[in-house]
Amino acid sequence: MSGEPKQAPAEADASDAAATGPTEVETGADAVVRALENAGVEHLFGVQGGAIMPVYDALYSSEMTHVTMAHEQGAAHAADAYGIVSGDPGVCMATSGPGATNLVTGLADSNMDSDPVVALTGQVPTDFVGSDAFQETDTVGVTGPITKANFFSDDPESVGTDVGTAFALAKRGRQGPTLVDLPKDVTKGAASEDPGEPRTPSTYSPPETAAPEAVSEATDVLAAADRPVILAGGGVIKAEACEELREFAVEHEIPVVTTMPAIGTFPEDHELSLEMAGMHGTGYANMAITMTDCMLAVGTRFDDRLTGGVETFAPDAEIIHVDIDAAEISKNVEADYPLLGDAKAVLEQLATAMPRSPEADEWREQCREWKQEYPMDYAAPEDDPVKPQYVVEAFDSATADDTIVTTGVGQHQMWACQYWTYTEPRTWVSSHGLGAMGYGVPSAIGAKLAADDDQEVVCFDGDGSFLMTCQGLSVAVREELDITIVVLNNAAIGMVRQWQDAFFGQRHMASEYPWVPDFDTLAEAFGARGFRIESYDEVESVVAEALEYDGPSVVDAHIDPGENVYPMVPSGGDNGLFALAEDQL
Amino acid sequence: MSRNQNVRRDGLEGPEPEERKRPVGRRNSQGIRVDPEVEVEHEPRRTIISAYVADEPGVLARVSGLFHRRQFNIESLTVGPTQNEGYSRITMVIEEPDPGIEQAKKQLNKLLPVVHVRELDEKPVARELVILKVDGDEPDKVQAITEMYGGETLDAGPRTITVQITGDESKIDDALDAYEQFGIREIARTGQAALARGEAETARVDETHT
Ligand SMILES: Cc1ncc(C[n+]2csc(CCOP(=O)(O)OP(=O)(O)O)c2C)c(N)n1
């Protein structure tokens, strides 16, 4: 991987030579760039355009690397993935109007998943605001409901501080996307101050530790439980609390279930791991969260894809809910023991306060039995079209443990959850709460740029999802990113087809593609390497070659178009009654 | 990796739903654990929420947008300046079951410009104002009713009389009923403005926000 363009234009050398230190602040745009530098930003993802041009101009001599994306949606998704993998806010940039509205899907995704992202949008000059000027959109209005905070900057002297505040807010407390709207006259206007380090406003004070009495009550209940379970949510990763969670679970031998964003918090090959619960979670995870009498839930918002119908969610359980956001406590599921605070700090408190391990040997044995009873075993007859699960497993076997997986949205995403064994946090990158098709290719780009140099990135995509953002291949080729995109090609928007089979009398309305491009050929046209899998014999060699290729490659894997995702809890259903096959739905 | 030939063709193996262990408990639709035998639903109640907010452009839009998007049932919303420059008070009357009221407060608190949120207790000092225009055919009777409700005549012409009444909500409702006989042409009614009674603070405001 290299941040340099393939054919560096002559000017690039000049700008590199000029980039010797932090940006001198002479304009609002300089202050914006300086604020990003002060925040330690290394990569930016964006697309140029009229209203944001002053900011780009100020970037010209900065040492930060800007990755020009093919579409602003891709910029937002790349920034989101960058934030997930690095833990620091990913930054995306777009011009006013269509540039800003193209970011919307990505910001909504980051907001749902509490991913740290900062978006910078150009805006028409302040005198024109409200006049329906060319490329004017009320960006702050449009993105208000889908950002943690957003700002309209109206002063060149404070615009840098606004950007710093946005950065600090994206990262602190419950993480999320923030946006600063930058009118062109403000970024062009004279400024002199270095905006300094990013800081959150004085009014913003997320809780740190939980009330000690509450912690000791909660640990008493947990220690006395017969059927305890830990439900790890994405907040555990956000709070860098995986170590604490692992130690607590292992020390007290409490089985661990994760939500989808929390994949990687707890090693899936550990005997206490029951893996992911919810709509397409494992049978054993869903049995455990249904039968538990005490659930320690950390950093989760009890999304409906996890809970199914709340009436039947962990109905016997006293719930201990650790969260940094008070509004998540008892929002969807009532918390008997709310512990408001940072997951890492509260897990440390719990570890200290825990009087003893629960005497729950029978339950531990039960969980082990469920793992035997509901194996994730799929049928893969030799003569059939290749099973998608087999392709996922083949890539998993051929790659190192720290390999990062990103996905589109659909069946392929679920197989990537289910059949890859995750052992490390920040190696699973997906669009969870929003379920945004098109997340795959740009997220692979963002993940690769945030990854360690020797860390591999594999993206599992669906043919439908891939077609939404495959223009990002041009970026991956230009930036020489070594990523492997595996299109689990069923010539259908399979997840929709699966629902039609189950709930709409097999009426395949608008879910089958009578024709899909040859994705391997398409990849070659972009300058990437293309591979194809059509039978089992080809799997091993293609996997090896695609991973071996040093640059972006696309594997067009023609999979069994009839394959569906199981287990499945229908939307609003009872987790304990998960279906193992269609006739159980 | 598994290439097991013997498992079912179109799904996974394992005990069928009806063969599984089942929990005994149940939650209600609000996610609250309940006795399976009795049905408990939280009844909505009316309450006043007061928010002390930084007076930034768009803050009212953010608050009303939040209530709309989260489907909180809001009856009235008023906003006005406070004794501290740069800060406003928003007073909201909402009708929700307890969990909804809690959520509304917490969600409001998450908005950056919102400094403090409090639900006012049972008996706050609360007032609203109505200006109404009635037909001017019976000025004496109109005057009598205005006096009865402690109101004020703001404008009197040959055809219309415009009066103002302030008071708590039920007084204003009663007054409106009383004016009905004259033919009400137009009404402009504010929402409630309220403060906590006595020494109790409506919103905790520390020095950084004064
Ligand atoms: C932007 C967007 N549009 C529509 C949907 C609805 N949707 C969910 S899954 C799915 C099918 C995805 O098809 P594909 O990417 O081919 O993946 P597959 O399910 O076949 O693996 C669709 C259309 C969505 N999640 N996101």
| Banded pLDDT at B7 (limits 50, 70, 90) | very low
b/e code B102-114 from CB counts within 10 Å (16+ = b): bbbbbbbebbbbb
Reported as a pLDDT band with limits 50, 70 and 90, residue A466 is very high
CA A373 – CA A138 distance, rounded (Å): 55
Residue with token string 């001599």: A61
Catalytic residue among A37, A93, A175, A184: A184
Chain A nearest-CA residue for B29: A311
pLDDT over 50 at A11, yes or no: no
The pLDDT of residue B1: 36
Structure tokens at B63: 């608050």
Residues of A in contact with B4 (CB under 8 A): 377-380
* Beta strand pairing call for B125-135 and B193-195: antiparallel
pLDDT score of A276: 98
In whole angstroms, how far apart are CA A361 and each of A155, A294, A477, A581? Answer: 64, 15, 54, 31
Name the band, by pLDDT with cuts 50, 70 and 90, for residue A102: very high
pLDDT at residue A317 in the model = 98
Contact A316, A346 (CB under 8 A): no
User: Does the distance separating the beta carbons of A310 and B29 come in below 8 Å?
Assistant: yes
The pTM of the whole model exceeds 0.90: yes
What percent of chain B is predicted at pLDDT more than 90?
80
Is residue A408 in contact with ligand 1, taking CB distance under 6 Å?
yes
Return d(Cα A254, Cα A523) in angstroms, integer: 46
Placement of tokens 């997930």 in the chain: A84
Confidence of residue A5 (pLDDT cuts 50, 70, 90): very low
Q: Is B4 on the interface with A (CB under 8 A)?
A: yes
B76: how many CB neighbours lie within 10 A of its CB? 16
Q: Is B71 on the interface with A (CB under 8 A)?
A: no
Q: What is the pLDDT of residues B39-95, one digit of tens each?
A: 667 789 999 999 999 998 889 999 999 999 999 999 999 999 999 999 999 999 999
pLDDT of residue A345: 98
CA A464–ligand 1 middle distance (angstroms) = 6
Is the confidence at residue B122, as pLDDT, over 90? no
State residue A3's pLDDT score: 42
Residue A548 has pLDDT above 60, yes or no: yes
Tell me if A126 sits within 8 A of A156, measured CB to CB: no
Mean pLDDT computed over every residue of chain B: 90
Tens of pLDDT along A332-352?
999 999 999 999 999 999 999
pLDDT(A424) > 90: yes
Measure the CA–CA gap between A455 and A452, rounded to whole angstroms.
5
Q: What is the C-alpha separation between A200 and A36, in angstroms, rounded?
A: 15
Condensed to tens digits (0 to 9), the pLDDT of residues A176-225 reads 999 999 999 999 999 999 999 999 998 899 999 999 999 999 999 999 99
d(CA B116, CA A172): 20
Q: For residue B139, count CB atoms less than 10 angstroms from its CB and return exposed for 0-12, middle for 13-18, buried for 19 or more.
A: middle
Name the more confident of B9 and B38: B38
pLDDT of B210 > 90? The answer is no
Tell me which of B19, B20, B205 to substitute to probe the interface with A (most A C-beta atoms closer than 10 Å): B20
pLDDT above 70: percentage of residues in chain A: 97
Where in A324-402 does DSSP place strands (E)? 337-340
User: What does the pLDDT read at residue B40?
Assistant: 66
The b/e string for A116-131 (b: 16+ C-beta within 10 A; e otherwise) is bbbbbbbbbbbebbee
Cβ contact A397–B1 (<8 Å): yes
Residue B16's SS3 state is: coil
Inform me whether the pLDDT recorded for A130 exceeds 70.
yes
Strand-pair partners of A117: A90, A177
The C-alpha atoms of residue A85 and residue A62 are separated, in whole angstroms, by 24
Q: What is the pLDDT of residue B205?
A: 76
Annotated catalytic residue A72: yes
d(CA A163, CA B16): 55
Is A311 in contact with B103 (Cβ distance < 8 A)?
Answer: no
Q: Which residues pair with B177 in a beta bridge?
A: none
Task: Show residues of chain A in contact with B55, CB under 8 Å.
Answer: none
**Cα–Cα distance for residue pair A325/A122, rounded to 1 Å:** 31
Query: Above 60 in pLDDT, residue A68?
Result: yes
Looking at residue A2, its pLDDT comes to: 42
Q: Which of residues 92-131 of B touch A (CB under 8 A)?
A: 99, 102-103, 106-107, 109-110, 112, 115
Averaged pLDDT, B109-136: 94
Rounded average pLDDT over B10-38: 90
In the sheet that holds B114-119, the strands lie side by side as: B74-81, B87-96, B45-54, B114-119
DSSP alpha helices (H): ranges in A431-559?
Answer: 440-450, 463-469, 473-478, 494-503, 519-526, 536-548
What are the pLDDT digits (tens) for A159-178?
A: 999 999 999 999 999 999 99
Residue percentage of chain B with pLDDT more than 70: 92
Question: Residue B124 pLDDT > 80, yes or no?
Answer: yes
Q: What is the pLDDT of residue A19?
A: 56
| Encoded amino acid at A200, one letter | T
* Distance between B71 CA and the closest CA of chain A, angstroms: 13
Instruction: Work out the average pLDDT over A362-390.
Output: 93
What is the model's pLDDT at position B39?
Answer: 65
CB < 8 Å to A204, chain B: 112
The per-residue pLDDT for A202 is: 87
- The rounded Å distance from CA A486 to ligand 1 centre is 16
Contact of B20 with chain A, judged by CB distance below 8 Å, is answered with yes
To the nearest whole Å, the CA of B192 is away from the closest chain A CA by 26
Question: How far, in Å, is the centroid of ligand 1 from the Cα of A558?
Answer: 17
Predicted complex ipTM: 0.89
Would the pLDDT of A107 be above 50?
A: yes
Mean pLDDT value across chain A: 95
Q: Residue A216: what pLDDT? A: 98
- Give the C-alpha separation, A334 to A321, whole Å: 9
Please report the atom of ligand 1 found closest to the CA of residue A467. Answer: 15
Residues from chain B that touch A330, judged by Cβ atoms under 8 A, are 31, 99, 102
Q: Which of A102, A496, A513, A515 has the most ligand 1 atoms within 8 A of CB, as the residue to mutate?
A: A496
d(CA A139, CA A122): 9
Q: Ligand 1 pocket test: pick from A260, A409, A488 the residue with the most ligand atoms within 8 Å of its Cβ.
A: A409
Q: How far is the alpha carbon of A542 from chain B, nearest alpha carbon, in Å?
A: 17
